[in-house]
Structure 1
Amino acid sequence: MGSFLSNFNVNVGGPVIAIAGLVGTVVALAMVMTWGSRFPRTILLSFAWIMSVTLIFVVPDSRIVQNFAYLFLLHFDLLDWKVFNQVFCIVGGSIWGATAIAYFRLTKDACGNCGRNDANEVSLVKGAQWGKWFTYMAVIMALPYGIVRWAWALGIPLGTTNLSMVGNEDIVLVDTILGGLCIGGGILTLGLIQRWGVIFPRWCLFLAGKQIPIWFVVVPAILMSAIITITGIKLSPQFIYMIVNGSINHENWGEFVPFLFWLPWGISLGIATLAYYLRRRGRCKHCGKL
């Protein structure tokens, strides 16, 4: 499943995890206690970001996205403690990331709520203007996997000679749903730059015309960006190697190549979501900056 740590021996992994936890406790306390000022700011921030990246992008593997997709098929047989542990790691990594951001704002005399100060105000607004291009990129990157899966559901052997994967009555529904998740996700991504991504459209009944809460969009978009990026990071090296050694060819590319679009899909979705947040966050209630 693309795990980077599948051969990590327990005799090594156990002490490493224990030491990282103990050091992390000290670092976290140093960020909020007065005696923490004795430590160089760069060391504390570096440790926090390393922990965040490790827990979110190194520890989990593609079972995260696999089980997320299977939830829509009401298939829970693959959920086990290893998958739940990966979810806990992602949550922990997110907390470390939030901790790093909060500490950075504190030490830069920026607003603790929004992170704005006079130095970064212009650069952040200018960066948000790039959001539409990353949104379009995210939409395009979401399509290849969905198109291949829908083709198989319709009985079209796109990119494969394995006919057991094409038009099989047992997996047509699976292909339809998995393909629909990607294509539907791509369509929803357009909402990051469309009016219906800010105001509930008319078909939303009693919600029609009301403003969409910013976190109603940002939270699931960031979550999906992380899941997709994790899968891309874990599977892309394997499939690139298979292309180089000839294991992937015109007879089976549909089974592997679409996954190569997931890493740029996840990254571009994350940047597009950040731009959406910067455009919509409005005036900060704490510092008053717009």
Structure 2
Amino acid sequence: MDTTTPLAHPDPSARPAHPAHPAHPPGPSDPRSLGRARTAAAVTSVLVAAIGAAWFAGDTLWYFAADSDRGSTSLLALVPKRVDATLAVLLGAVGLVAALAARGRRLVGVAVVQVVAFVLLAGDAGVLLLLAYLTALLFPVALVACLLWGAARHRSARIGLGILLAVGGAAVVGSGIFDGESLRSLGDGLGTGVRRHLAPHLVVTLFVGHGLLWAAIGIRAARSVRHACEACGRPGSGRLLLRLRVPVTLLAAACGLPYFLVRLTWLTGDPFGVDGHAVDAQPGLQLMGFLLGLTGLVAAVLTIGLIRPWGRVLPGWIPVIGRREVPVLFPTLAAGLVGVLMTVAGRAMVQSHLHEAATGGESRALYLFLLPLPVWGPALLLAAAAYHLAHRGPCADCGRGDATPSPAGTRAQRPCSEHAR
């Protein structure tokens, strides 16, 4: 008998590499189940309500006065403290109840309110600044370690290390920003900054993290409402975003270059956009400016990886994890998170510019061109989403794959039935 006929008894141990398309799409998971995201959102809702209660009691954890450092960049500074406190307590209580019991459209509605309130409105540039400074301090160490490791294995890494040493040596000799005085000044400045700004940065980080948790919950709830797979959102092709993948990625990468070029001028005697005497008086400021500019260049290079093969398989010269396939979610979440923080910081920069213009202060319009966060953030978000759509593959929950070929420059995803052969 032909073993391909329906009457044959298949071997139960033989399973396809990926699940084939189901005859009927799986139903949404039980909306009453309390997943890890909802548990975390319940916890952060309690913390948000507690912060609001502390604001009612006094100035504990209140960093948003109109005359504070955040007075021109935070929307919380535009309304009285009691209004902010009332909203924090109310939204925290609503978030707690919704995380525990809400479902369907009500859960989607609560998620939208929480995201708007805590990401777009309560968020400011503080979280991005904290991330940028940490990256600027840690990246040079990580880069040198990777190149030293790879130099013993690959000629390309030896070339990269030689270029880095040449540029770094020229910077040390020509600029003098890496001397002992600069390092001491940098350390003193960082210590002062941590004492002054770490606590408010952490409060804003809690707000933004709370909003992002609700964004994840809202996306899954919205998929459930339209009877799509909660894990991947299929059916839904994202064809338009795939067509725009290369342009939005190149736009996001280009946004980091003006900042890097401007920071390079800080190594000269005529720094662009700042008083040269002020930079000379604070040598640590010059060093940190150079490191932040280098971070902008690295961000541009990593963004290009979203449309290049090494964005899927790591180069061999990277220690330990070289030549390994990149999990699709890692670049997606990393670029998406930075895109969100840039978008929020872009809103804060626009607010700062309008505030200075209204009060007769120095215009900040130049910074919107040199550091175009209002464009950079949304472009990076779209690039991250397009990368995910191009490489996500078949869904482990519903078995659906993407039969539509990806645009030129990307590898097309085969339908799930092909993977199962």
Pick the TM interval, shorter chain.
0.7 to 0.9
- Cα offset for 1:186? 0.9
- Over 3 Å counting, the alpha-carbon distance change for 1:86 and 1:190 in structure 2 is same
CA contact (8 A) 2:123 2:208 kept: yes
Q: What is the CA-CA distance between 1:81 and the residue it aligns to?
A: 2.8
Aligned-partner Cα distance in 2 for 1:23–1:57: 18
The alpha-carbon deviation at position 82 of structure 1 amounts to 2.2
Residue 45 of structure 1, aligned match among 94, 97, 108: 108
Secondary structure class of the residue paired with 2:318: helix
Picking from 333, 337, 342, the partner of 1:219 is 333
- Alignment coverage as a number of residue pairs: 275
**Corresponding residue for residue 202 of structure 2:** 84
Matched, 1:235 2:349: yes
Matched, 1:69 2:183: no
Matching residue of 1:204 = 318
Larger Rg: 2
Q: C-alpha separation between the residues in 2 aligned to 1:18 and 1:163?
A: 47
Distance in 1 of aligned mates of 2:303 and 2:247: 12
Counterpart check, 1:270 vs 2:381 = yes
Name the counterpart of 1:189: 303
Amino acid corresponding to residue 391 of structure 2 in structure 1: R
Superposed displacement of residue 44, structure 1: 4.1
Shift of residue 203, structure 1, vs aligned partner: 1.3
The DSSP-based 3-state class of the residue aligned with 1:5 is: helix
- After superposition, the CA RMSD in angstroms is 2.6
Q: CA–CA distance in 2 between the matches of 1:67 and 1:221? A: 16
Q: What are the superposed Cα offsets for residues 227-256 of structure 1, whole Å, 9 maximum, x if unpaired?
A: 21111110123325656998557xx976x3
- The question of whether the paired residues in 1 share the 8 Å contact of 2:346 and 2:374 is answered with yes
Greater fraction of residues in helix: 1
Shift of 1:257: 4.0
Q: Which residue of 2 aligns with 1:101?
A: 219
Does structure 1 conserve the Cα–Cα contact (< 8 Å) formed by 2:229 and 2:398? yes
Residue in 1 that maps onto 2:230? 112
Asked if 1:23 is matched to 2:137, the reply is no
Question: Is the alpha carbon distance of 1:258 and 1:48 closer, same or farther for their aligned partners in structure 2, counting shifts above 3 Å?
Answer: same
What secondary structure does 1:6 align onto? helix
Please name the residue that 1:289 is paired with: 400
* Rounded Cα–Cα distance in structure 2 between residues aligned with 1:228 and 1:192: 18
SS at the partner of 1:224?
A: helix
| Structure 1: tracts of 5 or more residues without a match | none
SS of the residue corresponding to residue 203 of structure 1 reads coil
How big is each residue's C-alpha offset from its partner over 1:203-248, in whole Å with a ceiling of 9 and x where there is no partner? 1244333211112212221221122111111012332565699855
1:137 equivalenced with 2:251 (yes/no): yes
CA contact (8 A) 2:260 2:296 kept: yes
Which residue in the other structure is 2:82 paired with? Answer: 11
- Alignment partners' CA distance in 2, 1:209 and 1:58: 42
Relative to the length of structure 1, the TM-score reads 0.84
Kindly indicate whether the alpha-carbon contact (under 8 Å) linking 2:76 and 2:84 is maintained by their aligned counterparts in 1: no
Partner deviation per Cα, 1:47-103 (whole Å, 9 max, x = no partner)? 311211221121122222222233344733344332211111111101111111111
2:55 paired residue number: none
Distance in 1, Cα, partners of 2:284 & 2:220: 50
The more displaced of 69-78 and 179-188 is: 69-78
Equivalent of 1:151, from 233, 241, 265? 265
Contact between 1:67 and 1:79, CA under 8 Å: does it hold in 2?
no
Counterparts in 2 of 1:109 and 1:268: CA distance versus 1, 3 Å: same
Greater Cα shift, 267-276 or 105-114: 105-114
Paired residue for 2:118?
A: 55
Contact 2:241 2:382 in 1 (8 A): no
| Alpha-carbon separation, structure 1, partners of 2:74 and 2:288 | 24
Provide the C-alpha distance between the structure 2 equivalents of 1:103 and 1:86, rounded to a whole number of angstroms: 26
1:187-214 per-position Cα deviation (integer Å, ceiling 9, x unaligned): 1100000111011112124433321111
1:105-161 CA-partner distances (Å, limit 9, x unpaired): 1111111211112xx23xx13422211111111111112222111211233332345
**Rounded Cα–Cα distance in structure 2 between residues aligned with 1:18 and 1:243:** 33
The reply on whether 1:171 has 2:242 as its aligned counterpart is no
Contact 1:159–1:253 (CA under 8 A) maintained in structure 2? no
- Per-residue deviation, 1:265: 0.4
The whole-number CA distance in structure 2 between the counterparts of 1:188 and 1:243 is 35
Alignment counterpart, residue 239 of structure 2, candidates 125, 142, 160: 125
Letter in 1 for 2:88: I
TM-score, scaled relative to structure 2: 0.59
How many Å separate the matches in 1 of 2:350 and 2:223? Answer: 35
